[in-house]
Amino acid sequence: MTLKIVKTLLSIFLVFMYYLGFWSAKSSIKITLFFIMILFIYEVGIETGKKQMNKN
């Protein structure tokens, strides 16, 4: 779970660093990073939901 949170935070950080103008990328890389960020956020949400269901 911790690894999933770390990779999610890193992908969010990379996307925001791009939007803040600290680095540039081709449009295909921008789109890929954005969808990877969305996938990682979804993955962490699923794992969090599983943990909450197990506690109940």
The pLDDT tens digits of the residues spanning 16-53 come to 887 787 777 788 887 888 888 888 888 888 888 888 88
Alpha helices (H) in the chain, listed in sequence order? 2-20, 27-55
Label residue 1 by pLDDT band (50, 70, 90).
low
pTM over 0.75: no
Q: What pLDDT was estimated at residue 19?
A: 77
13 lies in which domain range?
2-55
Q: How many domains does the chain have?
A: 1
